[in-house]
Chains A and B, each alone.
Chain A
Amino acid sequence: MKKAAFLLGILVLCAGMTFANGTKDAPAENKVLRLMTWSGYAPQELIDKFTAETGIKVEVTLSNNEEMISKLRATRGGGFDLVQPSQDRISSVVEQYGIYQPIDYSKVDEKQIDPSLLAAVKKNTLVKGKSYAVPHVYGTEGLVVNTAKAPGIKDFKDLLDPQYSGRVSYRLKRPTLIGMGFSKGYKPFDLYADPAKYQAFLDDMEKILIAAKPVVKTYWDNGDQLLQLIRSEEVWAASAWEQAGWKLHAENPNIDYIAPSSGALAWIDTFAIPAQSENVSGAYKWINFMLRPENAAFFTNRETYGTASKDAVKFLDPEIAANFTRGLPPAVLAKINWYPTVPVGLEEMEGKTLDKIKAAR
């Protein structure tokens, strides 16, 4: 009897496997593109336009950097056809888990991409002679300040000032450690290569941030929470992205995005193709479609993120263009600290520091 049950169990398993194999050998002309991306990166209007143009349907899953990696790691690079991680989170993930496949740049329309962003992304995602990403969107992390209430805040370290006790907020994430580091005179990115020095830097940041704990109202951890805190004037200054600042600026002219005097931190979100993507040709079609100037401008007008599409600027709305000239003029862009690739093991060290700060009384 037991044997029969065992055999039956095996049979069921085998049936499951053949079925799974059957779905894998799907026809070459795939009609669905499974995209994992950030909220707002795939507007419905553009999806509809893309479907009308190519006949490919787009299924969007919203996510963030950490979840993207964790999900793809769990499926060994399957389940999605195209994802949009930040450029600094690709090469170490490729080395460790191999969840992405190299980009074939001959299939990408490079003429429509800003050459400096493309070069930066190619360099930062280089693993064994191959690059793994195409730039799509960039943005900066700086300060959002209510200048009527807190005119003195110019840099990340001003968020530690007891004068603004209970009126400031920041995230308890790695950008805060790095931004504070730059504003306290460290060069954190130069310390990446030397774990011992980086640990000393982290220990110093830990001391500084624990000492400043009474000053911070709370550590915000999602965008809506941040908007709510600043909009209600419960918080006067916070570390945040320029979009939050510009959104609030439209509601209350006293609030605006300020690039910190030690330089804003900037990220580039990219397109990367998972190792087991089932619709690679569709993925390239989507990449070229999204970087077409008029489509990229549609996205920037809607979400106010900067785009890697070179000529999108011609299609921007005047008030959106004004945000960029006010908040991110060339002088500010020149001082930006671009995130380099994160070495393996670094985030573990940072994690411990962040946990200690959060747990401290």
Chain B
Amino acid sequence: MTTSKKKTIKWGFFIFFIPVFLWLSLLIILPQLELLRLSFMSTGKPGFTFKNYLAFFREPIYWLTFVRTAMYSILVTFIVMAIALPVSFYITKIARVKASGFLMVLLLVPFWVSELIRVYGWMILLRESGVINQVLVNLGLFKQPVEMLYNDATMIMGLVYTSMLFMVIPIIGVMESLDDSLIEAAYDLGAKKITIWRTIIIPYCMSGIISGAIIVFMLVLGSYLTPNLMGGKNSLWFTEQIYNQIIIYFNWNQGAAFGFLLLILSSLIIWVFLKISGQDLKKVIK
């Protein structure tokens, strides 16, 4: 009796497991394996080669682009962190309950629109004949319109804007459980604001900050639209290199190698980041 019951449970498990297994293996793992195989091949010639991976280190243009992309991604992550902390503190601790729900909706609403549309929105605002320039010229603050698009500062602003939410939400999740009395007690004992942030709030929210930072970092590192459209002539993002290799120059082997390098190097950066901040990946995922 007991054995047959056991069996039915297992069959049920397999019925649910097989679609997931097929989904994962056919649509995710197999294509990845094919890309991995491609990354060790050379165009035209048969056989196994490391050429595509070596090209990354030999050509300064490739690794410099990666370093630039990674540095900017780290910078964006820190800027987002600096903005997200006070924002989430205000929403969870200072605003009244009703207002905080409304503020969350305000944060979420822009994300109902696709990234492309949001970036085009910024472009309409910032371009030389755009809204901001016209207002400033009409007010007499500028003598003539200034080009605000197509530079690194604009690009970083765009990236910060598009990834804000992914830092705010995990931090709010953690901060809500922070006991207000801890902060009150610190005030009673004469602690300054900076000390409270440094010794109570930030350490308490660390797991939220780290998981937010990982999401933001990966999103920014893998973004394609924002750097391309807002950065204009000076922005070569690493993802664009992959796109160019595969779509424009048909060099799938090189593109696949770049894809795996991006995966390996970004995982490495996150590992180092976790080590430095003394956090455990398991704890952060929780």
A residues bordering B, Cβ < 8 Å? 1, 4-5, 8-9, 12, 66-67, 69-70, 73, 96, 166, 172-173, 213, 216-219, 221, 232-234, 344-345, 347-348, 350-352, 354-356, 358-359, 361
CB <8 Å contact, B61 and A355:
yes
Bound form: Cα–Cα A12–B128 in Å: 58
CB <8 Å contact, A8 and B14:
yes
Asked if B127 is at the interface of the complex by the 8 Å CB criterion, the answer is: yes
**A-B CB contact pairs (8 Å), 11 listed:** A12-B22, A73-B250, A213-B233, A219-B232, A234-B128, A347-B249, A348-B43, A351-B245, A356-B61, A358-B234, A359-B61
Contact of B248 among A5, A66, A218 (CB under 8 A): A66
CB <8 Å contact, B44 and A70:
no
Q: Give the shortest distance, in Å, between B71 (CB) and chain A (any CB).
A: 14
Q: Give the shortest distance, in Å, between A50 (CB) and chain B (any CB).
A: 31
Asked if B213 is at the interface of the complex by the 8 Å CB criterion, the answer is: no
CB under 8 Å from chain A, chain B span 241-264: 241, 244-252
Bound form: Cα–Cα A67–B243 in Å: 11
A9-B22, A347-B249, A355-B241 given; A218·B232 CB < 8 A: yes
Contacts of B37 in A (CB 8 A): none
CB <8 Å contact, B18 and A12:
yes
Q: Give the shortest distance, in Å, between A9 (CB) and chain B (any CB).
A: 7
With an 8 Å Cβ cutoff, the count of chain B residues facing the other chain is 34
Contacts of A216 in B (CB 8 A): 233
Contacts of B18 in A (CB 8 A): 5, 8-9, 12
Smallest Cβ-Cβ distance to B14: which chain A residue = A5
CB under 8 Å from chain A, chain B span 29-53: 43-44
A217-B150, A234-B129, A358-B236 given; A70·B250 CB < 8 A: yes
Bound form: Cα–Cα A108–B250 in Å: 31
Contacts of B150 in A (CB 8 A): 217-218
CB <8 Å contact, B250 and A358:
no
Smallest Cβ-Cβ distance to B241: which chain A residue = A355
Contacts of A8 in B (CB 8 A): 14, 18
